[in-house]
Amino acid sequence: MSETFNLFSPELLILIAITAVFAGMVKGIVGFGMPMILISGMTVFINPNLALGILILPTLVTNGWQAGRQGFAAAFSSIYDHRWFLGVGYAVLLTTTQMVPWLSQSLFFLCLGILVVGFASLMLSGWQPRARNETTLMIGCALVAGAGGGISGVWGPPTVMYLSMHNLDKQAQMRAQGVIYGLGAILLLMGHIRSGIATPQALILGGFAILPACFGIWIGFKIQDRINQNMFRVTTLIVLIVTGLNLIRRGLV
């Protein structure tokens, strides 16, 4: 049950649609951010567990669209290229989904937000992630991404951190993000059906949010196709900082 509105009331549906359009636009431009914006926006007027259940279906559909923009052969190639990151991240995601009904998210939001803001700020200054063993960085990002995805549906920032190590071009990074988030959304759905977060009411509202989210991502794709590589990188990092600050805010309230 929502805290402010009755489920399926016109007011609630309009607010969900507006939030989904905006989240889709941001995702279309930089490739991520939809779950963060959806859960942050919707928890203003509904409880977090319901918001988490709602975001699953629009996230799944829009990521499938993003992953397949250059064809599904390219998408399968991205799966192979990032198979170890996917394996570690998804194992953690499935495990942490079962903890959601009992966990407080405040500390997790705070820690993840500090990490994201610090990393993105360094990247804007020209710093690039380096490690003597890139496998260590990959595993670390996968663990954080999987835990974030399972607990809150937010796995974008750690995934972008991981992908930044590979210096991918704009299209390859967008495709890889779509593949990683899309497969993650399938597992998120499976995990939260079992955890009880993905209730029939939440999935119905999530189904309603698909069309507005797709409209938003279509607008975002039009913008993203017209910006150059450096602007894309800077825009991505700015969105990371904004989402990280929002995570810190959520951890402190």
pLDDT tens digit sequence for 221-243: 888 878 776 777 787 778 778 87
> Quick one: which of 208, 253, 239 has its CA closest to 61?
208
Please tell me the pTM assigned to this model: 0.76
CA distance 250 to 252: 5
> Quick one: which of 10, 32, 47 has its CA closest to 175?
32
Beta strands in 129-230 (DSSP E): none
Give per-residue pLDDT as tens, 158-216. 888 788 777 777 788 888 888 888 888 888 888 889 888 899 999 999 999 999 999 99
CA distance 200 to 89: 27
Which two tokens mark 143? Answer: 């663990």
pLDDT at 164: 78
